[in-house]
Every structure is written in C-alpha cells, then in structure tokens.
Chain A
Amino acid sequence: MVSMRAWPTSAMLAAELLKVRSRWMPYALLLLMVAGAAILIWLGGYGSWVEERNDPEFGYGQESLRTFALPWSLTGLLDSGQFWGAILVGILVASAVATEHGWGTVRQALSRGQTRSQYLTAKLLGIAIAAAITLLLAFGVGVGFSVIATALADRPITLDVPGGPSVPDVALMVLRAGYGIMPYALLAFCLAVVGRSTTLGVVGILFFMFVEAIVLGILGEQSGWAADARAFFPGHNVQALLAANRIGSLGGNSLAPRDAALADLPDPGIAALVLAAYCAGFLAIAFVIFQRRDINA
C-alpha cells in the first residue's frame, strides 16, 4: 500500500508543470515574444537609428536610439511584453484550462482526492510559473539583443544615465509589467473555467482588450466624469503602472498600441489596487463556479 503522507501540493504543482512544459504553446509563446523583441530592437530601433543618425530632421535618431540602447530599451521591451504577453498568456491559460474538460482529465484529476480548489490553484500556479519563465527568457533575449545593438552603436552598456534605473529598479519594472499581464490572464482563466471553452477564453480576452481600447479612447476625448471613468478600466491602470517604468522624461518606441499620453494617469499604487480588485474578482468567479458545478465532462 502506498503510504499517504501529508497531501503534497508540491507534487500537484510538479504534475501541472510537467503537463504545461510538454505542450507546444509555451514554446510558441517564447518564439513570438523573442520575435517581437527582435523586431523592436533591430528593426524599430537599430535599423532606424542607422538611417536617421545623421539626419537632423529625425533628431539624429535619438528616439530610435532610446528604442534599442540600454537602459531605455528596457521600457520598450517591457511595454511591448506586457501587451503581447497578456494576449499570449491569455491564450495559454484558456487552452490549458479548457482542454482538460475536452479530454475529460479534469474528472480523472478530481477523482484522485485533490479538492477542486487545490486543482484550480495548482493549475493556475503551474501556468503562472511556465508563463513567467517563458516571458523572462524572452525578456532576457531582448536585453541580449539590446546589449549587442548598443555595442554595435558604440554606446556604453550601462544603466547609469540621467534618471536611469538601479538593478532593483529594473526588477521593479519587470514586476510592474508582469503585474499588468495578470488581470487579462485571469480574465481568460475565468472565462475558460466558466465556459469550459478555449475559444471563449481567447475570444473573450481579445474582445475585451479591443473594446476597452476603443472605450478608453472615447472617454479620453471627454472631460469630467467621463474622463474620470477611465480610472475603473484595467487598461488605464496598466498604462499608469507602465508609465512608472519610463526612464527620464522621454519615451521610446513600443510594439504596444498604447496611448502615449501620460496625463491624467492614476498613481501607480492606486492603479495596482484597482488591478488587484479585477484579479480578485475574476479569481472569485472562477473558483466559486468551479466549486459548485457538476463536472460531467
């Protein structure tokens, strides 16, 4: 008889990681994020700078320089990474959750003694760890591209510029960008749990981001309460977090279709709280519904 030790949550997590890392999706996520970093650094940054560096009309390529050269490139990489990462992680989450229903493995997992909360928690943590590793790897590759491009441009490879971040500041910048991914990933998680459908999770998150961008654009044109209402949207608060990642007063290029205006953004601390409320809401809906429903498939 197998001895029944204390119920090993770490074993459940290890099982989730085995499942996630055996799928092709995290590798596709890594590939796409690395491709995005390459486009940003080499095409949007270094390539443009080579063309513009002697042209006063383009400010001698200063904006392009900030796109690929350290430490300014960190802002652009994290800004792009948050936007595309939110979509790609959302797809990964929705797929990982919903396919368990399609394969019937959710029933098998629940009939082995783990509670429904343990099941969802282990799944969420497993995906979060896999996604975090993937995104950090992509960020690392992006930083590697930036180091090479900075060296090719004969610029010093340093964080020590006016308004430049310290190493702990860089860690905080990464955390801000990662935190900005969470509400969207948890929205996809919530929709996939509720609808038991990858399509619902993926389409739901894309639809939400699309509609949110339009609504924020319209509200931004208004004044008074309509403009203030933006403070309740996750996108506006994510932008407030990412604005805190800027180095100095000047921005660089990003692959995220984001409003460049920095005015009227909430305080990053308040923004973090609003996003936490969204995360808690999505988690609560997912856990309560999963706890109560019949698992027929």
Chain B
Amino acid sequence: MLNDNPDVVLRTVGLAKRYRRLRALADLNLEVCRGQVFGFLGPNGAGKTTTIALMLGLIAPTAGHVEMFGLDTRRHLSGALRRTGAILETPSLYPHLSGRDNLRVWGALSGGVEGKRVDEALDLVGLRGRGRDKVRTYSLGMKQRLGLAAALLHDPELLVLDEPTNGLDPAGIREVRELISGLGQIGRTVFVSSHLLSEVEQMCDHVGIVKEGRLLTQGSVATLLRRGEVLEMRVTEPDRAAQLLGSLAWVNRVRRDHDRLLVEAPRERAAELSRALAEHQIYLSELRPRDSSLEEFFLQVTGKEAVQWSA
C-alpha cells in the first residue's frame, strides 16, 4: 500500500535481500520525511550499502519495496531517481575525463544541466581550480568531493549518500558535514549512511541503526539519546545496589564499572533512585548524570559494549 503522507520522501516497506543463504537485509521499514537529515548507522557489513542499492534500484529485493516521493519504485523508478542524487561507497568517476567533463556526463544523464551549474557545483566542493585536470590525477578526497558535486549537480530533492566522508581529511570532513547540515536547513532531504557515529551525531537530526541486516531502532537523535541516558553513582554496597536497581521497572540496565555503577535510567528519576537505595540501607556517596553520546547509544543497541550489562 502506498504511503499518502506527502512529507514522507523515502519509505521502505518490509524490504529484504538475500544472497542464496546469506541474509543481507531483513524486513526493513524506514521512513524519512522531507527536510530530515537521516543518518543510517551500522557496523561494516550491517546492510547499509545493500539498503542504498535497493533504494536506487541497482539490486532487486527478495521481498518488500521502496517508495520515493510517494512513488512505488517498482513502477516509477526512473521518475523517482531523477529527483534524487546519490553517492555509492567509493566515488564512481571516469578517470580519463576531467572533473568538469565528468560533471558534464553526469549532468547529461540527469536530464541535462547548464555549463554554469557545472561551475557552481565545482565551486561548491572547492574543485574549480582543478576542474580541467583528469580525474586520474585526483586524490581520493578530491574524487569524493567531485562525487558529491555530481550528486548535487541537478539540485535533487533527495540526496542518498553512502559514507560520503570516506577518504577526506579532517578539514574536508568538516566541509562535507557543514554542507550536508546546510542542505537539511534549506529543506533538502538527506539520507546518509555512515559508521562514523560522531559524524552522524553532528550532522543528522534523525537516525536509524542497522545490524546484521535488521533495523534495531530509528527516531530523532534527541529522543534516542534520552533513551540512552546514564546515571553514574558510587554506593556503599555496589553488588546489592545493582541487584536492587536492576529490578526497578524504569531502569533499563545497570553496569558495574570498578567501584561505580552506571545506571541506564531517565535523569529526572535520580531522586527516586536515591530513595529506593536508602530504603534498603544502601547509601550514595556520589551521583551524577553522565553525558550520553550517540556512540554509547549505538554500542548499547548493537550489543558492542565493552562491559557486561545486567538487566
């Protein structure tokens, strides 16, 4: 059934891909709304590139389908892709052509763009001065930037970017990050896959986390970070305290870190937590909220935490 919410730009419905016995993606249901900068996070091999290839119609799904701009891409792939710009993993460019000629080729394949727009795109990624040089002389970072220019060339409504900062130096990463954030601010929709959590945290307002072909969670970054809030404490009887706190309904998990306890619970319930301990003659010597990052949340949901959690 087609989605009739005009704000949903990209939607996957039960999307699955299997290569013989290998499950690359299973039952992926995503929604990306207009103006969102959506980070698609996952460890290497999680299914991020497979998802993007399925969105772009490069591979056929085993089950499910993709909708873009409310169009079912099984029937309207070309129409949807003309409104989309994409970068796939490594930059795909013609090494025997200049940067400018590469953009002319991609512009022609996108329905034709004017020469002025080619110059603007080169300017945007800081390659105007090297536009006439053959791409084979470019560094990886320059190729990545040219790939980004190619994706932006026809001013698409939706950008699908697979690891767009690969190969860039720190300054280049910051430029791309600012560029992507800026696109979100002018109402463009960006779907960006990455395994670099800090990068996604800085430029995305929404995030989906995928692991082993399954979507573990999705939502706004702010909401997900609240779910990952941690209270750090030192108590008189850590083992008994961990057992007690683990039994509370609003405590997600408790972790022992040397003489400290890390309690995954909403910050506003710190007083209740303190009272619960005191009622069992366990006393706090220290209690403070620990700054939560997307990285911590990611490690929690993908089960990659270094220390054991007890529920």
Which A residues form the contact surface with B (CB < 8 A)?
1-2, 4-5, 7-8, 11-12, 14-15, 18-19, 22-24, 103-105, 107-115, 292, 294-296
Residue A294 contacts which of B60, B101, B108 (CB distance < 8 angstroms)?
Answer: B60
Complex CA distance for A108 and B93, rounded to whole angstroms: 8
* B185 neighbours in A (Cβ, 8 Å): none
Residue B96 contacts which of A7, A22, A107, A113 (CB distance < 8 angstroms)?
Answer: A22
**CB–CB A19/B58 < 8 A:** no
Complex CA distance for A19 and B104, rounded to whole angstroms: 10
Known A-B contacts A103-B92, A107-B88; A112 and B109 likewise in contact (beta carbons under 8 Å):
yes
Task: Identify whether the interface residues of B are mostly helix, strand, loop, or mixed.
Answer: loop
B9: shortest Cβ distance to chain A, in Å? 15
**CB–CB A18/B58 < 8 A:** no
* Chain A residue nearest to B87 in the complex (CB): A108
* B110 neighbours in A (Cβ, 8 Å): 2, 112-113
Known A-B contacts A109-B109, A111-B58, A295-B59; A18 and B97 likewise in contact (beta carbons under 8 Å):
yes
Give the B interface residue count (CB, 8 A): 38
**CB–CB A105/B96 < 8 A:** no
* B58 neighbours in A (Cβ, 8 Å): 107, 110-111, 294-296
**CB–CB B60/A12 < 8 A:** no
**CB–CB A115/B78 < 8 A:** yes
Given contacts A2-B113, A113-B80, 5 further A-B contacts (CB under 8 A): A5-B111, A8-B112, A104-B88, A108-B88, A294-B60
Is B115 an interface position by the 8 A CB rule? no
Residue B81 contacts which of A22, A24, A111, A296 (CB distance < 8 angstroms)?
Answer: A111
Complex CA distance for A15 and B82, rounded to whole angstroms: 16
* Chain A residue nearest to B56 in the complex (CB): A111
**CB–CB B90/A113 < 8 A:** no
* A109 neighbours in B (Cβ, 8 Å): 109
* A18 neighbours in B (Cβ, 8 Å): 97, 101, 104-105, 108
* Chain A residue nearest to B88 in the complex (CB): A107
* Chain A residue nearest to B110 in the complex (CB): A112
* Chain A residue nearest to B89 in the complex (CB): A104
* A15 neighbours in B (Cβ, 8 Å): 104-105, 108-109
Most chain A CB inside 10 Å of its own CB: which residue of B88, B92, B155:
B92
B53: shortest Cβ distance to chain A, in Å? 7
Is B57 an interface position by the 8 A CB rule? yes
* Chain A residue nearest to B109 in the complex (CB): A112
* B148 neighbours in A (Cβ, 8 Å): none
Complex CA distance for A111 and B96, rounded to whole angstroms: 21
What 10 A-B pairs come out closest when comparing CB atoms? A104-B92, A15-B108, A113-B82, A294-B59, A113-B81, A108-B92, A11-B108, A111-B56, A295-B58, A15-B105
A106: shortest Cβ distance to chain B, in Å? 8
Known A-B contacts A18-B105, A103-B93, A103-B95; A8 and B59 likewise in contact (beta carbons under 8 Å):
no
Complex CA distance for A22 and B100, rounded to whole angstroms: 13
* B56 neighbours in A (Cβ, 8 Å): 107, 110-111
* A22 neighbours in B (Cβ, 8 Å): 94, 96-97, 101
Residue B112 contacts which of A11, A23, A103, A104 (CB distance < 8 angstroms)?
Answer: A11
* Chain B residue nearest to A6 in the complex (CB): B111
Is B150 an interface position by the 8 A CB rule? yes
* B303 neighbours in A (Cβ, 8 Å): none
* Chain A residue nearest to B117 in the complex (CB): A2
**CB–CB B108/A108 < 8 A:** no
**CB–CB B104/A105 < 8 A:** no
Complex CA distance for A136 and B157, rounded to whole angstroms: 45
Is B48 an interface position by the 8 A CB rule? no
**CB–CB B59/A296 < 8 A:** yes
* A11 neighbours in B (Cβ, 8 Å): 108-109, 111-112
* B106 neighbours in A (Cβ, 8 Å): 108, 112
**CB–CB B59/A7 < 8 A:** no
Residue B154 contacts which of A2, A108, A110 (CB distance < 8 angstroms)?
Answer: A2
Complex CA distance for A7 and B78, rounded to whole angstroms: 10
Complex CA distance for A113 and B58, rounded to whole angstroms: 11
Known A-B contacts A105-B94, A111-B84; A1 and B109 likewise in contact (beta carbons under 8 Å):
no
Complex CA distance for A22 and B56, rounded to whole angstroms: 28
**CB–CB A296/B53 < 8 A:** yes
Is B15 an interface position by the 8 A CB rule? no
**CB–CB B78/A114 < 8 A:** yes
**CB–CB A4/B82 < 8 A:** yes
